[in-house]
Amino acid sequence: MLHHEPSGNGTTPPRRPAKRAALVFVLMIALVCGAVAAGILWTAGAKADRELAAHRHQVTATTTGPAKEPPVATRYGTKPQAVAPAVWEQPEHVRRSGNIHVPPRTPQGRAVTIWVDDAGAPARPPGSVADRALTSFSGGTAAAGFVGVTGAGALLLLRRWTEGHRLAAWEHEWEQVEPVWSGRLHRGSGAGDGDG
């Protein structure tokens, strides 16, 4: 048909493998970027956790009242926690008091292990390896996805641009070839000869 191009010119067959190769290249770049981002996040997280751990201490607190249930439900997948008044010592022989997080229905007089900072105030614990791994994986996946989508979009735009130029060139060539190929030019010439 008219839309088929000759296969002997060597231009049609390589197009599909070239597109696949370009897509594979983009995916490989995306995976490399994701791995690099995950590595950077892991290293930075490990350094931050080490610095935080140097200023975190575990002490034993004793509740001075029953636990108060949280006013709202905790998120799915997290352990439910209540709040109870308690006392503890940090630094040594320095008595502290305040509200701490405890398991629900913790009674008065229960010993609970808590994390405190250098000043003895309740503080969040250092990050765990699992938390760091999750953060690194999430960041690496996001980076790989961004690079992959951006690269695929660029390939699509380039493909449309090249196809537009190719079709425009084909239309130009067809305008010159069609009168001869369809016989329209010969029919016009024959009619003129008959009149003479």
Please report the pLDDT score of residue 8 as a whole number.
44
3-state secondary structure of 98: strand
Which stretches of the chain score pLDDT less than 70?
A: 1-16, 71-80, 172, 178-196
Range of the domain at 164: 23-49+132-189
Residues 45 and 136 reside in one and the same domain: yes
Q: Is 149 inside any structural domain?
A: yes
Please report the pLDDT score of residue 97 as a whole number.
92
Domain boundary among 125, 156, 175: 125
pTM confidence score: 0.56
Please report the pLDDT score of residue 88 as a whole number.
94
Q: Which amino acid is at 49?
A: D
Residues 62 and 116 reside in one and the same domain: yes
Instruction: Give the span between the Cα atoms of 26 and 145, in whole angstroms.
Output: 11
Q: Is 10 inside any structural domain?
A: no
How many structural domains are present in the chain? 2
Q: Is 14 inside any structural domain?
A: no
Query: To which H or E segment does residue 186 belong?
Result: helix 184-195
Give the Cβ contact number of residue 30 at 10 Å.
20
Q: Is 165 inside any structural domain?
A: yes
